[in-house]
Amino acid sequence: MKLLRYGAPGAEKPGILDGDGKIRDLSGIVEDIDAAALSPEGLAKIAAADIGSLPVVDGDPRLGACVGKVGKMICVGLNYSDHAAESGMEVPPEPIIFMKATSAICGPNDDTVVPRGSKKLDYEVELGIVIGKKAKYVSEAEALDYVAGYCVVNDVSEREFQAERSGQWTKGKSCDTFGPTGPWMVTRDEIPNPQELGIWAKVNGEFRQNGNTNTMVYGPAFLVHYLSQFFTLEPGDVIPTGTPPGVGMGFKPEPKYLKAGDVVELGIDGLGAQRQTCVADS
């Protein structure tokens, strides 16, 4: 199933993409694509519905983030060996973990607001893991049983804020609109191997990232297992899992950072695509 949220910011409704690519309204089945809907019971309730009888959503509505009321967005850094190399950093002996403020989460095609003082705005296409069941101290062998599905995330980053302003990475990762998520969450049963997916990004039509999730250092099962050793993962939590090479800061001799007017497109095989226009902060 491809589950999504559509409508004005803050007033999104739950939806599902049918076999013809039409959005069907799920409001009569679930209140939102949130923790309750993403639980095994919630997903079973949606799966049992007669999708063809649900109302078709007319037009081309705005898509919100595909997961509502996200509790935690836990990001993984330097999780592709070739991206670590372009960043001039070693592959970490354990996953690098940082949090992205949930206020950064936005729709997949919403504008990216260039924050005041930004000099090094960047993009990162990432596979997002969506948790569907409370996970604490889970084994790697059982970890994917706790996953509801997968989605595309753009881990938008301001590199100066992130790396040159001292302290932690969070402030370079959490500006408003720095977390486009979606267009939809694809349930785990439709993605048998999340570590065999093409993953790409373009800026102004130029391919910048063109990789595969099979070059991850730490795969989804390990990451869910690993994170659950430190804190409880809750339904609706989202885990962006790192990015392949080709980000703006990796270009030599001159990095290719984003500016107002640039258009970023990105996607993952089977999970859909996003498109953002960079705009100056008012």
pLDDT at 85: 74
Q: Which two tokens stand for residue 17?
A: 């993409």
SS3 category, 43: helix
The CA distances from residue 203 to 159, 170, 219, in Å, are 17, 24, 27
d(CA 155, CA 266): 11
Is the separation of the CB atoms in 130 and 148 below 8 Å? Answer: yes
Question: Minimal CA–CA distance to 130: which of 219, 6, 27, 239?
Answer: 239
Burial of 259 (0-12, 13-18, 19+ CB in 10 A): exposed
Q: What is the pTM of this model?
A: 0.96
Q: Which CATH architecture has domain 74-280?
A: Alpha-Beta Complex (3.90)
pLDDT at 84: 72
Q: Which two tokens stand for residue 213?
A: 């999730």
The CA distances from residue 196 to 157, 190, 192, 212, in Å, are 25, 13, 9, 6
Residue count of the chain, please give it. Answer: 282
What distance lies between CA 277 and its chain's CA centroid?
17
User: Which pLDDT tens digits describe the chain residue by residue (282 residues)?
Assistant: 999 999 999 999 999 999 999 999 999 999 999 999 999 999 999 999 999 999 999 999 999 999 999 999 999 998 997 777 777 777 889 999 999 999 999 999 999 999 999 999 999 999 999 999 999 999 999 999 999 999 999 999 999 998 778 777 889 999 999 999 999 999 999 999 999 999 999 999 999 999 999 999 999 999 999 999 999 999 999 999 999 999 999 999 999 999 999 999 999 999 999 999 999 998
pLDDT at 170: 87
Q: Which two tokens stand for residue 47?
A: 């799966």
pLDDT at 168: 78
Rg (C-alpha) for the chain, rounded Å, is 18
Domain spans of the chain, in order of start:
2-53, 74-280
Is the separation of the CB atoms in 71 and 36 below 8 Å? Answer: no
Q: Which residues contact 78 (CB under 8 A, 6 or more apart)?
A: 84, 87, 89, 91, 92, 96, 217, 242
- Phi/psi at 225 (5° precision): -55, -50
Q: Which residues contact 1 (CB under 8 A, 6 or more apart)?
A: 16, 43, 46, 47, 149, 186, 187, 190
d(CA 113, CA 78): 24
pLDDT at 247: 96
Q: Which two tokens stand for residue 30?
A: 């679930």
What sections of the chain are H helices per DSSP? 35-38, 40-47, 81-86, 159, 220-228
d(CA 25, CA 56): 6
What sections of 95-211 are H helices per DSSP? 159
> Is the peptide bond prior to 253 cis by the omega test (within 30 degrees of 0)?
yes
